[in-house]
């Protein structure tokens, strides 16, 4: 199952930019789950006011005396079958009555069971308290059955030593998938509240001093982490003292050569390329598809999910007297990834396979022509423009990569 998840400590919408950001996220509806911390009632109410695509999991916390400030927002196509809630409002000796805790739902979709949770641990210098909370969360999650488990949020961690302690506590069952991310918390955006840590942050901010910490983390069960392609990134929008963390979890992708038995994919390729290239379908079949079954050029590679769903394609061929008069060199073309699989690095994997294939066949350069994807290829690295040409009254940019 492919999942797109966002987690954010909303700071109770303290920053003036939060409402517009959150409204845009809801309208775009691109996330399967949105995990919030410090989500007060006005924030939660925005969901039903703005979007019909989402439902909300937000429970009453008897220790806190109102609804918990943890919130799981989920797409309508997921069925909530079970809820989990642990309140940390009165955790330990302090009676701070803040909306800290762990909230999760067990969801079903397409025969798969997924546990998704949001966590907000205590702030301050007491690392042992947070470690105990992590232990409680792990114990509770492991009581439930699931195919995949994803949980994250504001762990209020500061030093690397504490983060490693949390990783050790959650292992081997769970893996932190946000290791490569930078700091998520910037103390100069701390709200002015009568709380010890906040007062220190406010004082330092008045002196122009900012403390940046890796406070937010996301964990995934080991099996899912090993089998899936997982990408994590920080959104640049400054709408809280925390940056939002985006997680993409994609099914494992298998790339192989097109086969004669791939009838539906073959039909798709012909139906797509004939009008795009403005040639008869028979030309696509005779010049590319049928020769590819014999081994050697042209190669047609396809990307497939674990359950054999089509997730992309690419063609590698030898072209004679092609753009800019380049003759007898390998070219990639017809790069395509269905919309539901984009953003997972599949196109890059397809391109890498063609590079390796051309290199194995003794070629030193690989070429492509594109109308509007110059920037994409430049970002991949190694590709650069060598000129422009015309193709059926259309301007194309010719690019090359040394192998």
Q: pLDDT tens-digit profile of 147-201?
A: 999 999 999 998 889 999 999 999 999 999 999 999 999 988 887 776 677 777 7
Convert 57-95 to b/e letters by CB count within 10 Å (16 or more is b): bbbebeebeebbbbbbbbbeebeeeeebbbbbbebeeee
Token digits for 273?
């390329």
Per-residue model confidence as pLDDT tens digits over 323-333: 999 999 999 99
Q: What pLDDT, on a 0 to 100 scale, did the predictor assign at position 93?
A: 53
Per-residue model confidence as pLDDT tens digits over 230-279: 989 999 999 999 999 999 998 888 999 999 999 999 999 999 999 999 99
CATH topology of domain 3-250: Deoxyribonuclease I; Chain A (3.60.10)
Domain 254-402, CATH class in plain words: alpha beta
H helices present in 102-195, as ranges:
127-141, 160-170
Token digits for 49?
């006011």
Q: What pLDDT, on a 0 to 100 scale, did the predictor assign at position 342?
A: 84
pTM to 2 decimal places = 0.73
Per-residue pLDDT band at 107 (split at 50, 70, 90): very high
Q: Per-domain residue ranges for the chain?
A: 3-250, 254-402
Q: What pLDDT, on a 0 to 100 scale, did the predictor assign at position 199?
A: 76
- The rounded distance, in Å, linking the Cα atoms of 119 and 341 is 28
Radius of gyration of the chain (CA): 25
| Residue 89 scores a pLDDT above 90 | no
Per-residue pLDDT band at 96 (split at 50, 70, 90): low
Per-residue model confidence as pLDDT tens digits over 136-162: 999 999 999 999 999 999 999 988 899
- CA distance between the termini of the chain: 35
């Amino acid at each position: 199952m492919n999942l797109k998840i966002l987690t954010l400590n909303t700071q109770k919408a303290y920053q003036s930019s939060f409402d517009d950001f959150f409204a845009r996220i809801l309208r775009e509806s691109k996330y399967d789950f949105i995990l919030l911390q410090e989500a007060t009632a006005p924030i939660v109410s925005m969901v039903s006011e703005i979007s019909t695509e989402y439902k909300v999991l937000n429970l009453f916390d008897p220790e806190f005396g109102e609804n918990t400030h943890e919130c799981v927002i989920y797409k309508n196509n997921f069925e909530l079958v079970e809820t989990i809630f642990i309140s940390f409002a009165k955790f330990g000796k302090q009676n701070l009555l803040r909306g800290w805790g762990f909230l999760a739902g067990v969801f079903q979709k397409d025969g798969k069971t997924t546990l998704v949770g949001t966590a907000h641990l205590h702030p301050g210098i007491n690392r042992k308290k947070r470690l105990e909370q992590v232990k409680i969360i792990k114990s509770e999650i492991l009581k439930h059955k699931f195919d995949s488990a994803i949980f994250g949020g504001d762990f209020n961690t500061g030093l690397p030593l504490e983060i490693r302690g949390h990783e050790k506590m959650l292992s081997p069952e769970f893996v932190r998938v946000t290791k490569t991310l930078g700091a998520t918390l910037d103390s100069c955006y701390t709200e002015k509240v009568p709380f010890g840590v906040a007062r220190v942050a406010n004082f330092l901010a008045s002196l122009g001093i900012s403390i940046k910490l890796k406070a937010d983390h996301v964990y995934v069960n080991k099996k899912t982490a090993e089998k899936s392609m997982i990408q994590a990134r920080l959104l640049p929008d400054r709408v809280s003292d925390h940056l939002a963390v985006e997680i993409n979890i994609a099914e494992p992708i298998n790339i192989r050569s097109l086969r004669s038995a791939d009838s539906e994919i073959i039909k798709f390729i012909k139906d797509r390329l004939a009008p795009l290239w403005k040639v008869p379908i028979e030309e696509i079949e005779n010049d590319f598809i049928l020769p590819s079954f014999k081994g050697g050029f042209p190669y047609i590679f396809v990307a497939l999910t674990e359950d054999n769903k089509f997730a992309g394609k690419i063609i590698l061929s030898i072209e004679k007297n092609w753009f800019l008069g380049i003759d007898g060199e390998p070219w990639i073309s017809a790069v395509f990834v269905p919309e539901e699989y984009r953003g997972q690095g599949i196109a890059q994997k397809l391109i890498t396979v063609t590079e390796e294939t051309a290199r194995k066949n003794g070629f030193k350069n690989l070429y492509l022509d594109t109308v509007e994807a110059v920037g994409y290829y430049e970002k991949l690295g190694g590709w650069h423009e060598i000129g422009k040409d015309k193709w059926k009254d259309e301007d194309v940019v010719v690019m090359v990569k040394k192998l």
